Structure 1
Amino acid sequence: MTSELLRRAMTDPGDLALRALPARAEVLLEGLQASPRLVAHLRVVHDVACRLAEWVQRHYPEVDFDREAVVFGAAIHDIGKVEHLGELSGPGSVHEQAGYELLLDRGVEEGLARFARTHASWTAAEVGVEDLLVSLADKVWKAKRVPDLEQLVTERLTAASGQQPWEAFMALDDVLDRIAADADLRLAFQASYPIVA
């Protein structure tokens, strides 16, 4: 049975008119009786990932990436925290592999389950644009800027568009600044939900 707090975390648009999670992600989170705080976190990261994906499509249409994978990946990237609740309020990376395995066990394809593993390891050789966008969303939602991650995204934008690196960086910097400006509202939304229902 889905708790009222879990349902509200999934549906409350908050002050930012947050988008709903993909239906498949909601089903997974309900089935796992996820923490309302985790769902709130996934909502804000998912919303930021949607904004980033839309921005790339609009300003860099030459970049070939799977938007739906980004959207789903952001919606489930921390799902391993259902098994490692302590990592919702403190540091830890055990949830990454645990989430990947949990998603595979629940029938999620490897190409989508990977985001549970890759959202914190953006320097691996097999990381694609999709992984970088999920990682970026997972940082900038709270106004955290990570120069090496942003450099990797800039390189992908530059390679696809032919734009000068400084131009791509300035454009990315601008959109990240705009997203980061609402970090306090996102943090408040997440904090308004308890870790345990």
Structure 2
Amino acid sequence: MISAALRRALTEPGDPVLRPLPDQVVAMLETLHAPPRLAAHLRAVHDVAAQLTDAVAQRFAQLPVDRSAVLFGAATHDIGKVRHREELSGPGSAHEPAGYDLLLRQGVDPSLARFARTHASWQRDDIGVDDLLVSVADKVWKGKRVTDLEDLLVDRLAEATGRERWSAFLDLDDVLDRIAADADSRLAFQATHPVGDLDG
């Protein structure tokens, strides 16, 4: 049975309003008895990924992006913290391979499960645009800007559009500034949901 605390994390609107997670992800989080804090975090990053992909599609229409894959990746990137709950409130990367394996066991295609492994490994040579977008969403949701990561995305944007790199940078910077402006609200939303399984 789903706890009231998890239900709240999955359904409370937030301010500004956060999009709901995909039904498939909600079902997995319920089945796995995910910590409410994790569900709240996944909602925040998923919402930011939706804003980011919408803005990229509008400003960089030539960039090939699989929006549904990015949204699924953002909605599940930290699901391995179901198994490594200590990483909800502390550092660690054990949740990354654990999340990938967990998603495979839940019947998720490897092409979608990969985001659990790649969201913190954006320095690798084989990382694609969709992976970079999930990684950026996982940083900017809390207002964090990571220059090396954003530079990789700018390179892809400039290459896809044929625009000067500085022009692509300015456009992306504007998008990320706008998204980061709501970081405090998203952090406050996440903080209202418990790390543990407390009901009530």
TM-score bucket (shorter structure): over 0.9
Q: Distance in 2 between matches of 1:2 and 1:14?
A: 20
User: Could you tell me which residue of structure 1 aligns to residue 190 of structure 2?
Assistant: 190
Deviation at 1:123, TM superposition (A): 1.5
Deviation at 1:16, TM superposition (A): 1.1
Q: Distance in 2 between matches of 1:40 and 1:55?
A: 23
Deviation at 1:79, TM superposition (A): 0.1
Using CA pairs under 8 Å that are at least 6 residues apart, name the structure with larger relative contact order, 1 or 2.
2
User: Could you tell me which residue of structure 2 aligns to residue 74 of structure 1?
Assistant: 74
User: Could you tell me which residue of structure 2 aligns to residue 104 of structure 1?
Assistant: 104
In the TM superposition, what whole-angstrom CA distance separates every residue of 1:140-174 from its partner, at most 9, and x where no partner exists?
01111100100011011101101100000011111
Deviation at 1:22, TM superposition (A): 0.7
Deviation at 1:112, TM superposition (A): 0.4
Q: Is 1:137 aligned to residue 111 of structure 2?
A: no
Q: Distance in 2 between matches of 1:155 and 1:13?
A: 35
Q: Cα RMSD over matched residues?
A: 0.6
User: Could you tell me which residue of structure 2 aligns to residue 125 of structure 1?
Assistant: 125
Q: Is 1:58 aligned to residue 81 of structure 2?
A: no
TM-score (norm 1): 0.99
Letter in 2 for 1:107: G
Gaps of 5+ in 2: none
Letter in 1 for 2:40: A
Give identity over the alignment, percent: 62
Gaps of 5+ in 1: none
- Count the aligned residue pairs: 197
Q: Specify the SS of the correspondent of 2:133.
A: helix
TM-score (norm 2): 0.97
Q: Specify the SS of the correspondent of 1:52.
A: helix
Q: Distance in 1 between matches of 2:118 and 2:98?
A: 12
Deviation at 1:84, TM superposition (A): 0.5
